[in-house]
Amino acid sequence: MESKLTKIINAGFLVSPDLEIKEEHIEDFLKFLKTKDPKPIFVTNELYSEFLGSQKKELEIKYIVKRPVDRRSEVDTSVKLKKMYRQTNKKIDINDWLTYYLDRFERLSNLLRNRIELRNVVSISRILKMTGRQEVATIGMVKDIRKTFTGTHIVEIEDPTGQINLILKSEDVVKVADEIVLDEVIGVIGTKSKNVIYPTKILFPDVPDRPIKKSKDDVYAAFVSDTHVGSNMFLPKEFSMFVKWLNGKVGSEAQREVAKKVKYLFVIGDLVDGVGIYPGQEKELVIKDIYSQYEEFAKYFADIPEDIQIIVIPGNHDALRLAEPQHVLFEDIARPVYQINNITMASNPAVVNIHGIDGFPGFDILLYHGMSFDRLVSDVPFLRKFGYERADKIMEFLLRKRHLAPSHGSTLINPMARDFLVIDSPVDVFASGHIHYTKIGRYKNITTIGTGCFQKKTPFQEKLGHNPTPGRVPIFSLKENQTKVMRFL
């Protein structure tokens, strides 16, 4: 116990003599103490209990719903929030950014160290002390990327011990040069000569291959986003058609049979168009009050069958802060939505496990609205050639980086002791919205789902030459691990 207390004392705190803390919690507990405002002087068991509450990573909300067979198929459902951001109120200062990026570096470094090619990693400071030409392996965060007048890429990386330049000349590393972005963490294998490294291989944290998961139950999950209720470009007729289909009132006999099997519905942000989101927005609103917008949204969702579990995350048009991670919708503003019994509110991003029933582990679904996509499509040459019509390529890119916004500035960030945008564990499905274009893909047996929208092309999208796909709803079969797209326009 003395060694644990000593670590806390050396960090500048006084410690209660009866403090009981587990060894594995020390580092995270110290980070937690540093985020407190005001910073505590005396560490007690009460503070440790508060820490344990804030670190609780799994909140299980399980619904078992039985409906008459003549209305919809009878099946059990399960929803578990595996990764969920909970709002903390703290004044931000420059030290929070340092802690935030150190946490990102440490966690992504640990993922890279699992790669067999990086088993002999050494720090940058040790490499700089080496003499002559030597084969080296290291891990660093990208500090700068530039090109010489001859077209050679130079990438500067850093770790907590120092910084060094990489000169990309090998054919294999030149191929990935356009995929490297600022602030990401990469592994490097190459030859050190003087004070630079000539890489022969650059490694991204990436997700591992995983087996395809299939449920014994013939159940579907539907994905929608960007309904933008309140906008004069919202498509009420088409959205009503989607709700009627879920109720088995429209579609062919085969389509109505599928509707009976939809047991999960994910809403991935931008429920409403919001108010004051961009200059001149009031001219494009038919509902100019944010409370009334959520009330109108709730009217549609109140008609969805109660045995469908609805999971909702916010987006950049919803009524809360833009900085990510975003907490759940404010209950006082979106109260009518909260009053729908079968809705589960989650953060943006979040990881939700569904259908973990009867010994089946369920499907882990990563939900992210997608605010970083705009900047990535604009700044990353590899993604720019695909544009907004390849959400699958954007999501594949982020899975390789193991981060939802790898570059500082790709989205607004709320710096915390733990970087919530790191993709810690592989998932079964990665679903996003924001860019209004439906695209389905698969990467290392992870299904990637880019939802469409229920809003017509906006004047802003017209200027960009962007062609959204409204009225399209991806439907994921848990039994077949396949996705089809239903069209309501």
pLDDT digits over 238-264, tens only?
999 999 999 999 999 999 999 999 999
Instruction: Please tell me the distance from the alpha carbon of residue 449 to that of residue 431, in angstroms, as a whole number.
Output: 5
pLDDT computed for residue 279 by the predictor: 87
**How many other C-beta atoms lie within 10 A of the C-beta of residue 268?**
30
Instruction: Report the DSSP pairing between strands 153-159 and 134-147.
Output: antiparallel
pLDDT digits over 173-183, tens only?
999 999 999 99
Instruction: Please tell me the distance from the alpha carbon of residue 316 to that of residue 336, in angstroms, as a whole number.
Output: 20
Q: Report CA-CA distances (Å) from 207 to 158, 303, 312, 425.
A: 23, 39, 26, 8
Q: Report CA-CA distances (Å) from 387 to 141, 179, 270, 317, 374.
A: 26, 15, 21, 22, 9
pLDDT value at 381 more than 70: yes
Q: Which domains occur in the chain, in start order?
A: 2-55 (no CATH), 59-86+209-487 (3.60.21.50), 98-203 (2.40.50.140)
pTM of the model: 0.85
In the DSSP assignment, the letter for residue 178 is: G
Instruction: Report the DSSP pairing between strands 262-268 and 220-224.
Output: parallel
Better-predicted residue by pLDDT, 38 or 414: 414
**Helix axes 2-10 and 26-35, enclosed angle (nearest 10):** 30
Encoded tokens for 358 = 């009867």
β-pair partners for 450: 432, 439
* Residue appearing with tokens 């239903």: 486
Instruction: Please tell me the distance from the alpha carbon of residue 370 to that of residue 106, in angstroms, as a whole number.
Output: 24
Query: What does pLDDT average to over the chain?
Result: 90
Residues in the chain, total: 489
User: How large is the C-alpha radius of gyration of the chain?
Assistant: 24
pLDDT digits over 393-408, tens only?
999 999 999 999 999 9
Q: What average pLDDT does this structure show over 142-157?
A: 94
Strands annotated E in 401-464: 429-432, 439-443, 446-450
